[in-house]
Amino acid sequence: MPEYRRWLMRTAAASLACASIIGATLDTRAFAADLPADTPADLPTNQPTNVPANPPTDLPTNQPTHVPADTPADVPAELPATGDPSTPLTRLMLQIHGFVGQGALKSTGNSYLADSKRGSLEFSDIGINFTAQLTERLRVGMQFFARKLGSVGNFNAKTDWFYLDYHWRDWLGLRAGRVKLPFGLYNDTSDIDSARVFVLLPGSIYPVNNRDVLLAQTGFEAYGYAGPSVVGALEYRLYAGTILVPINNAPDATLLVQTVTVPYVVGGRLMWETPVEGLRMGGTLQALRLDTMVANTTGGQARVRVPAVLTVASAEYTARDLLLAAEYSRWYVSDTSSDTTVYPSIPRLNSDRAYVLATYQLRRWLAPGVYYSLLFANIDQRSGRGNRQHDIAGTLRFDINAHWIVKLEAHYFDGTAGLDREINGGPLVDLGTLTERWALFLLKTTAYF
């Protein structure tokens, strides 16, 4: 199966372990004294992707109604004018944030993300980002990132995202560059481990092994915010551009991807902040096309065109220390091949994806979370272990201090539809022959500033 197909249809998941030893070592009084009032760690961790510790730079920064009340103090809800573009660097409101993370994975039955069946430490990431307010309306930012997740990344540093953002009015702003994709509730903050409770977001909609592809698009975006009013408030984001897809052929692959281009990716997200305090709802629509050249081991080649349409319906409710969220997504994918002897055309391969989750800030230093996620890789074939994947996950997040977190997570899986063939027997393995019920355990620690 070609790599481009794998990143479109694959999912991810994560794991729980006993945490009483860590909990017993935390002194809540010392912890409280260690946290300044305006530190990013002051954020409730049960709002995982709305209010990141190193705040997403693609949020409008001068509209007070758009910025949550608990936004870090170093991200002003209403930015003061910075004057002429020639303002000295010392007055540019330059912000620098960074993180270093290391994890471990262990699974039973099947391998997931890495060689987790044997146990793996190939779960590392590091990043640093810079943002600056050049004028009252113009903002720029960039992030450099490297990671190692199984066979993905190999610590190759790259520019993760970059942008210039001109905020003309609350209802209209423009961005250009490599801009984060507003996909569902949490995609545009999925790169911020400190901003959420879970080690991994529900893999049916947010597959972590495809993070490098799905995080951002290179092009343009228009965004805006209207409200609040008696009917609530609306936030929209519309974009058009392309996606850079890396080629990662396995050494023993029988079908090699030679080139991949994305002629277009277009889409948008509309979020409604309802009159009910803490409740927001929305929808996402994304359309893209992949054009690729594949070759088999006998020299045959085929041009394959893969149009896809991805949809997500989202709802989230927050009340004090409680967060509840649910999303449903359907992905419509088809393949057209120039040579069906090399790669067969598939007229339709549609998948259903959904999850429900809950987190609660039990203590200032402790936040548990649970979710249930499901994937049907082909809605026309829902039966059989290779066509489905149910995932029940539980997490404990410990804030050791203002800049250091530790997370323990466990997952119980029923089904194998989200597994990578390459690390589970090779590219020709039948997913229906792999272990049907299995577990995954993860430990992740991250330091950030």
Give pLDDT tens digits along the chain (449 positions): 444 344 334 433 333 233 333 343 333 333 333 333 333 333 334 444 433 333 344 443 333 333 333 333 333 333 344 444 454 555 678 999 999 999 999 999 999 999 999 999 999 999 999 999 999 999 999 999 999 999 888 898 999 999 999 999 999 999 999 999 999 999 999 999 999 999 999 999 999 988 878 899 999 999 999 989 999 999 999 999 999 888 877 766 778 888 999 999 999 999 999 999 999 999 999 999 999 999 988 888 999 999 999 999 999 999 999 999 999 999 999 999 999 888 888 888 999 999 999 999 999 999 999 999 999 999 999 999 999 999 999 999 999 999 999 999 999 999 999 999 889 988 778 999 999 999 999 999 999 99
Tell me how far apart the alpha carbons of residues 271 and 227 are, in angstroms, rounded to a whole number.
12
- Count the Cβ atoms, other than its own, within 10 Å of residue 21: 7
CB crowding 125-139: b at 16 or more within 10 Å, else e? bbbbbbbbbbbebeb
pLDDT for the residue 90? 52
Residue in 439, 445, 443, 447 with CA at minimum distance from that of residue 109: 439
- Backbone φ, ψ for residue 33 (5° rounding): -70, -20
Report how far residue 353's alpha carbon sits from residue 329's, in angstroms, rounded to the nearest whole number: 5
Tokens of 228: 């609040």
Tokens 């560059």 correspond to: 177
For 3-448, CATH number out of 3.10.129.10, 3.40.190.10, 2.40.160.10, 3.30.450.20 equals 2.40.160.10
How many CA atoms lie less than 13 Å away from 263 in the CB half-sphere? 8
* Predicted pLDDT at 391: 98
The structure tokens listed for 399 are: 């804030």
pTM above 0.75, yes or no: yes
Cα–Cα distance, 17 to 138 (Å, whole number)? 46
In whole angstroms, what is the distance from residue 207 CA to residue 190 CA? Answer: 10
* C-alpha separations of 142 from 132, 145, 219, 242 in Å: 10, 10, 15, 18
Element holding 8 (H helix, E strand): helix 3-9
Residue 418 is given by DSSP the state T
C-alpha 200: how far from chain center? 8
